[in-house]
């Protein structure tokens, strides 16, 4: 009879079968899976190069700027200056148009002139206000076009 070698089972196989059979001890040893590393262990094992860190920082900076200027409301200094100038000019026009309306109120034929103003087309109204002299501010010789246009708009809205 054949003698069993260490690590081989005693099962019978065909004569031409040259595969080695494993014992149950070695099969159990092979079936055990190695313990999988946790995410934290894998994270701690990562070591980035200086190049990778540089490009990551650059991408984060570019992304922050993109989000800030498109949705964050950031503006450049030039845009802020233009916006401030426009807002200041509009505020001055609003204040001066109230003086224009006060000068209209002092006109003795204001009702007749208001009817003529309302009868004029919208693009001719500012010229009409200039002709009447209502948009000429005290101490000035000429009238401002923006003030005349705003004054005509407010006068046309009067009842």
What whole-number distance in Å separates Cα of residue 92 and Cα of residue 89? Answer: 5
How many CB atoms lie under 10 A from the CB of residue 40? 8
What's the whole-model pTM score? 0.58
What are the pLDDT digits (tens) for 54-68?
999 999 999 999 999
In this structure, what token pair is assigned to residue 10?
Answer: 């005693």
Question: Helices 77-106 and 110-119: crossing angle, nearest 10°?
Answer: 130
Task: Please report how the helices 145-156 and 125-132 are oriented relative to each other, as an axis angle in degrees rounded to 10.
Answer: 110
pLDDT digits (tens, 9 = 90+) for 26-79: 555 556 677 888 999 998 998 989 999 999 999 999 999 999 999 999 999 999
What whole-number distance in Å separates Cα of residue 46 and Cα of residue 53? 12
């Amino acid at each position: 009879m054949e003698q069993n070698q260490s690590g081989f089972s005693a099962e019978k196989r065909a004569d031409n079968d040259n595969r080695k059979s494993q014992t149950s001890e070695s099969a159990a040893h092979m079936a055990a899976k190695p313990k999988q590393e946790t995410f934290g262990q894998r994270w701690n094992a990562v070591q980035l190069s200086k190049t990778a860190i540089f490009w990551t920082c650059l991408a984060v900076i570019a992304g922050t700027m993109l989000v800030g200027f498109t949705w964050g409301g950031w503006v450049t200094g030039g845009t802020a200056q233009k916006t401030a100038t426009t807002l200041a000019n509009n505020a001055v026009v609003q204040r001066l148009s109230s003086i224009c309306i006060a000068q209209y109120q002092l006109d003795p034929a204001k009702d007749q002139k208001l009817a003529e103003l309302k009868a004029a087309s919208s693009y001719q109204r500012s010229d009409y206000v200039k002709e009447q002299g209502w948009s000429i501010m005290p101490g000035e010789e000429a009238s401002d076009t923006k003030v005349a246009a705003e004054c005509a708009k407010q006068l046309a809205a009067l009842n």
